[in-house]
């Protein structure tokens, strides 16, 4: 995968779930029937539907109150975390990652870091990106991976660098990661995951169905589709950002063509955290003419609109 989010999905290996014994053991039948009988009794109460309506109204009010527009793309989304709380969590993530990769982070003087840093600086020099809020780390690790934290720390593994055949391809990767942070995708993901984990727990407790199984079902229904949508959003705006910085957007096509050729295991789309490689390739094809125009003009209307409204970057408030 191109990018790894700091938040880990609770997706169990599907092979486990395919075993018949697992399905049988995953359900506590005694508790399930007990809960069903209790529910039927409670439903006969005249106050039951009043309580359901009350709770539903409260949940609806909380949901509506926390709706907002995604920076840059303007998509309406639920975000209960807020940026300040996410930044606090981001510090924890940062400490954890630094501890994990402490021995493998390359020094800024290394050839690999210098190369990526040059591209990185050119991209974050775009107006409004508050260049001094970003930091780059290159990890000496063969995994083809890059990720970003809410505090603006971008991590790139040398495995991905070695896979890239040009600076344009590295720029596409960096643009993608930068966009995840600018659009505050971590806040959005946490806002979905935390209530769902809570509901999973309650449902599992009441129904007697294994919590991992409930978690798998809610991941497939609610979390993974949103994750794929975020990745597509970061792909689209990331390639625009790379093009705006002067890099060739067609590099995305060459990179994803090679990536698709390497794909070995066919996993159903609905189990992916990211869109399938061939789908990303099709998307980049459809965005190419617009991205080329952005490169030619050195400007992107979508970014200019976002800057003009001053609602896109949290860092913009600190660096007017
Ligand atoms: Zn990503």
- Concatenated DSSP letters of 24-90: HHTB-HHHHHHHHHHHHHHHTSTTHHHHHHHHHHHHHHHHHHTEEEPTTT--EEE--S-HHHHHHHH
Alpha carbon distance 91, 93 (integer Å): 5
In this predicted structure, the answer to whether residue 8 has a pLDDT above a threshold of 50 is no
pTM: 0.82
Which is the catalytic residue, given 68, 97, 153, 177?
177
Ligand 1 center to residue 2 CA distance, Å?
6
Give me Rg for the CA atoms of the chain: 22
290 catalytic residue (yes or no): no
Could you read off the pLDDT of 91-135 as tens digits, one per residue? 999 999 999 998 999 999 999 999 999 999 999 998 778 777 899
Confidence of residue 227 (pLDDT cuts 50, 70, 90): very high
For residue 38, the model assigns a pLDDT of 75
Q: What is the pLDDT of residue 317?
A: 42
pLDDT confidence tier of residue 319, bands split at 50, 70 and 90: very low
129 C-alpha vs ligand 1 centroid, how far in Å?
18
Q: What is the pLDDT of residues 79-92, one digit of tens each?
A: 998 888 999 999 99
At 250-273, the pLDDT tens digits run 999 999 999 988 877 777 888 888
């Amino acid at each position: 995968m191109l990018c790894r989010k700091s938040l880990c999905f609770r997706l169990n290996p599907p092979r486990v779930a395919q075993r018949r014994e697992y399905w049988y053991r995953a359900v506590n039948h005694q508790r399930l029937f007990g809960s069903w009988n209790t529910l039927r009794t409670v439903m006969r109460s005249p106050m039951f539907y009043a309580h359901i309506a009350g709770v539903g109204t409260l949940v609806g009010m909380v949901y509506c109150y926390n709706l907002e527009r995604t920076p840059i793309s303007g998509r309406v989304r639920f975000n209960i975390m807020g940026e300040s709380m996410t930044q606090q969590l981001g510090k924890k993530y940062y400490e954890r990652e630094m501890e994990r990769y402490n021995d493998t982070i390359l020094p800024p003087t290394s050839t690999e870091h210098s190369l990526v840093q040059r591209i990185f600086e050119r991209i974050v020099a775009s107006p409004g990106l508050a260049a001094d809020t970003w930091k780059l780390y290159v990890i000496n690790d063969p995994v083809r991976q890059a990720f970003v934290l809410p505090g603006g720390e971008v991590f790139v593994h040398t495995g991905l660098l070695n896979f890239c055949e040009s600076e344009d391809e590295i720029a596409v990767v960096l643009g993608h990661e930068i966009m995840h942070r600018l659009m505050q995708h971590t806040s959005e993901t946490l806002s979905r995951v935390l209530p769902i984990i809570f509901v999973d727990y309650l449902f599992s407790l009441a129904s007697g169905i294994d919590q991992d199984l409930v978690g798998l079902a809610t991941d497939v229904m609610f979390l993974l589709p949103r994750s794929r949508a975020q990745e597509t959003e970061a792909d689209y705006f990331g390639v625009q950002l790379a093009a705006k910085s002067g890099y060739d957007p067609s590099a995305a096509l060459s990179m994803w063509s090679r990536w698709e050729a390497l794909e070995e295991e066919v996993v159903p789309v609905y189990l992916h955290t990211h869109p399938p490689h061939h789908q990303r390739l099709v998307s980049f094809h459809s965005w190419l003419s617009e991205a080329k125009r952005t490169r030619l003009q050195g400007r992107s209307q979508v970014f200019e609109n976002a800057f003009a409204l001053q609602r896109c970057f949290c860092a913009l408030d600190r660096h007017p």
